[in-house]
Structure 1
Amino acid sequence: MTPVVDEKKVQGKKKQKNKKKADPRKLEIFDACFALGGACNWVGDFDDAIRYFKRAKEGCEEQLGRESEKAFHATYSLIPCTVMRGGEKIEKYRDLLKRCERVLGVENVITLETLNQLGSNLDDNEEYEEAKGVWERYLAGRVKVLGENHKDTLGTLNNLGVIYELGKDHEETKKCSRNFKKFLYASGNSERFAQMITSCPGLAFEG
């Protein structure tokens, strides 16, 4: 009896065999490019930030593949540094989000942070309804990955509170406020500090 050959498995093995092994020394250089790009971005030197992030992106794509996590990270880092109109930036984040969800999964940190940035840009562009949906997805992902009491959810709760307040969704604002206080105590921040950092005072003062 002639054995059945699984062509997909054969091709997969060939690809694995022909796959170039990444050079650890080069990857260290690209990690340094990430760090330098982040530092330049922090001080507002966007031209140099773009240069370093591009080098990291090209290097990671060459060493690890176009759909590697580090290549996606470099693409994510490049978008906010690049001068473009709000609508163009939103489309860049949408495209990156689709690719991240397909390749990395919905709970990957790059996928979640892309969701967060998409929400922020929609908010800046006054597309509040869509921003609300995006941030709700982001919050659900953060809670699932990090747990309910992680302090990183504070900013998302605040963003959602602002959106709910703008939309006069008082019930959701109250719910957000209760959760905000819960996360506040878990993170070790005082309510006084929360009142200072939140752009939606209702979250801190709501009873």
Structure 2
Amino acid sequence: RGKYGESEAVGRRALEGLEKILGLHHPDTLTNLNNLALVLQSQGKYHESEEMNRRALEGYYRILGPDYPHTLTSLNNLAIVLESQGKYDESEAMNRRALEGRE
């Protein structure tokens, strides 16, 4: 599993600092949130990863819009974690939305 535990701890500290300094919906905060969700997913912490991915996606939608590359990447990341949990219908819908946004 590499150093995912260490990476998670660093990511959580960074997220806490970014939320305090830049706010919950700053692009840098959302990127950190998205990255932390990937670390959690790599550790099999799918439920928490899903929650963080949803928060990041909501933030990107709000500040960047539905078709911005960061939003679409976040949408795809959420689809992957949903698939990992066996939520295939929702995962497929997210993937289709991400694909449509990139066309």
TM over 0.5: yes
- Give TM-score scaled by structure 1 length: 0.46
For 1:101-159, what per-residue CA distance to the aligned partner results, in whole angstroms no more than 9, with x for missing partners? 12210111221111011011111212111111111111111111111121222222222
By percentage of residues, which structure has more helix?
Answer: 2
Which runs of structure 2 are paired with 1:3-152 in the superposition (5 Å)?
85-152=3-70
Aligned counterpart in structure 1 of residue 82 of structure 2, from 160, 164, 188: 164
Deviation for aligned residue 1:100: 1.2
What is the CA–CA distance in structure 1 between the aligned matches of 2:25 and 2:40, rounded to whole Å?
21
Aligned to 1:12: none
- Higher-Rg structure is 1
Structure of higher RCO (CA pairs closer than 8 Å, 6+ residues apart): 2
Match 2:93 to one of 148, 167, 175 = 175
Cα offset, 1:169, TM superposition: 1.0
Deviation track 1:15-42 (CA, whole Å, cap 9, x = no partner) reads xxxxxxxxxxxxxxxxxxxxxxxxxxxx
Query: Percent identity at matched positions?
Result: 28
Distance 2:17 2:25 in 1: 13
Q: Please say if residues 73 and 98 of structure 2, whose CA atoms lie closer than 8 Å, have aligned partners that are also in contact.
A: no
- Count of aligned residue pairs for this structure pair: 102
Moved over 4 A (4+): none
Could you state the TM-score of these two structures normalised by the residue count of structure 2? 0.86
RMSD: 1.7
Equivalent position of 1:199 in the other structure? none
SS at match of 2:5: helix
Gaps in structure 2 of 5+ consecutive residues: none
Partners of 1:165 and 1:114 in 2: CA distance: 22
Distance between the aligned counterparts of 2:24 and 2:61, measured in 1?
Answer: 13
- Match of 2:69, SS state, is coil
